[in-house]
Structure 1
Amino acid sequence: MSVRSLCLAILSFGDATGYEIRKEATEGRFCYFDDASFGSIYPALAKLTSDGLVTVQEEAQPGKPARKIYSITDAGREEFITTLCEPQAADTFKSPFLLVALYAEQVGPDVIHRAIERRKEQIRAELKHLTDHDDACPHKGSDWAQSYGIACMSFTLGYLETHGDELIRIAEGETTAPSSRAAAE
């Protein structure tokens, strides 16, 4: 999904400022779909506006510069739906934790133990975010998408809790690495 499509997705829920769009993209319900920074959001919004897919209104604020409020147009909704109907790219997954795990033998059991515990804390925080994020969503697929995310995170947490000790043993120099591939399948 492009930043352009992500902006249209967020605006399909209602009018928003660039700051609100970025907050939704980084901390809100859209943080699981793509990365978006201020440096990418504002050029995308400018292009969407010039293409007639988004409108912008300035709202005066006492003692501050006017804030820009963006709204999706009917043409913007049509383009967004058209984009959703195209074949999607493969999901991307990047994990600094897995890089540490790859080098378990070199970094040692203390580093691995801390990395596993830190990763479990991160996953628990993501699960809390997913389960606490229960605002009314007009899209019927929202509950399904939320449940899918919870299932993925729950499986990952369960895997670390069940197989984390195997990685620690590898870091300790155990010569025969336990095979946890079968458990994942």
Structure 2
Amino acid sequence: MNVRTLCLSILHEGETTGYEIRRLCVEGNCSYFIEASFGSIYPALAKLEDEGLVTSRTEQQDGKPAKKVYSITEAGRAAFAQHLSEPLGDDMFRSPFLLFARFAHILPPDLVETRLQDYLERTRERRQHLEEAASERSLNASDAWVVNYGRAIADVAEKYLQAHMDELITLARAEPNKKAAE
């Protein structure tokens, strides 16, 4: 998925601003799909507008700068549906935690244990957020399916961390001993 398609997906649900699109990509419902910066969102919106796939209007705000509100057009809805009809690309999973885990053997055990506990807590918080989302009555059937998929993934991640965190801590303990033996 690219930023253009992400913008169309959010606008498919209703009109919004570039700022709100960014917020949804960072902490909202779209944070699981793709990360998008302001530097990629606004050029994508401008191009979508040039192509007639979205329109915009300026709204004045009391004590604040005016904001630009975007809406999807019928052509934009058709383009979005067309993109969804195309073959899916591979999921891309990037994790700073997995980089940390890969090199845990070169770190002090207490640091590894602390980072694991922190990451486990954040995983629990993400799962709780999804549990709360699943209880919202406003979810349509497709949204509920996606939320439940996320809940299943978070549940597996939490169980794996609980069952195997000691292995990573042990690896951290092993490296200093190995160096000491040399």
What letter matches 1:144 in structure 2? W
Which position in structure 2 is the counterpart of 1:105? Answer: 105
Aligned-partner Cα distance in 2 for 1:168–1:54: 51
- Range with bigger deviation, 47-56 or 114-123: 114-123
Matched, 1:81 2:81: yes
Counterpart for residue 15 of structure 1: 15
Residue correspondence of structure 1 range 23-102 to structure 2 within 5 A = 23-102=23-102
Q: TM-score, normalised by structure 1?
A: 0.88
Give structure 1 regions of 4+ aligned residues with deviation exceeding 6 angstroms.
Answer: none
For structure 1, which segment, 126-135 or 65-74, has the greater mean C-alpha deviation from structure 2 after superposition?
126-135
Aligned to 2:164: 163
RMSD of the TM alignment (CA)?
A: 1.5
Rounded Cα–Cα distance in structure 1 between residues aligned with 2:6 and 2:120: 29
Larger helix fraction of residues: 2
How far apart, CA to CA, are the structure 2 residues paired with 1:167 and 1:105?
A: 8
Q: What is the match of residue 138 of structure 2? A: 136
CA distance in 1, matches of 2:20, 2:28: 10
Percentage of matched positions with identical amino acids: 47
Cα distance in 2, alignment partners of residues 61 and 135 from structure 1: 32
1:5 aligned partner: 5
Q: What is the identity, as a one-letter code, of the residue corresponding to 2:91?
A: D
Q: CA deviation at 1:136?
A: 1.7
Contiguous gaps of at least 5 residues in structure 2: 176-182
Aligned to 1:172: 173
Q: Counterpart amino acid of 1:173?
A: A
AA aligned to 1:158 is: K
Task: Provide structure 1 residue ranges, at least 5 long, that are not aligned to the other structure.
Answer: 175-185
Q: Kindly state the Cα deviation for residue 38 of structure 1 after the two structures are TM-superposed.
A: 0.9
